[in-house]
Amino acid sequence: MTNEICPFHLAFPVDDLAKAEAFYRDVLGCGVGRSSDKWIDFNLWGHQVVAHLVGDMSGVQKNAVDGDAVPAFHFGVVLSVEDWETLVGRLREHEAEFLIEPRIRFEGQPGEQRTCFVKDPAGNALEFKAFRDPDQLFAVD
């Protein structure tokens, strides 16, 4: 396995493409790529994420992680601390709904990180995190 970071591709469900586009473009600041009446490509910090229109958004399970009820299905990006703080400010400015308020997780332990979870308009959970020490991304106890 190479250490080179390659863009990932992730497709996820939404129940309203217009609301998804407004959130990912205007709130998160994602670039918009190709689209149709059933899907939209977004540039999420260099990664291709695609909102696909579906009818049913029910059924989210959660797991306990360091005292938080973390949605089992979620995705996001690991940012620099500076970019994370800028994004948190932007999310607050747009009155995004936090599932888990910005906080430090695993404080003083391997993998210490800043984290927050927000919901997009379809209810998908997104996690944005930043490591004080980026080399701790895959740290174990």
Which domains are seen in the chain, by residue range?
Answer: 9-54+61-136 (3.10.180.10)
Angle at 96 between CA 94 and CA 100, to 5 degrees: 145
Instruction: State how far the Cα of 37 lies from the Cα of 93, in Å rounded to an integer.
Output: 29
Residues β-bridged to residue 89 = none
Per-residue confidence (pLDDT) for residue 60, from 0 to 100:
64
In 3-state terms the chain splits into helix, strand, coil percentages (rounded to 5) of 20, 45, 40
What pLDDT, in 10s, does the model give residues 67-107? 888 887 899 999 999 999 999 999 999 999 999 999 999 99
Instruction: Check whether 2 has a pLDDT greater than 80.
Output: no
Tell me the pTM: 0.84
| 3 state DSSP class of 59 | coil
Contact 32, 21 (CB under 8 A): yes
Q: Looking up tokens 């995705």, which residue turns up?
A: 75
Whether 54 has a pLDDT exceeding 90, the answer reads no
Q: How far, rounded to the nearest angstrom, does the alpha carbon of residue 33 sit from its chain's CA centroid?
A: 18
Average pLDDT of the residues in 98-127: 93
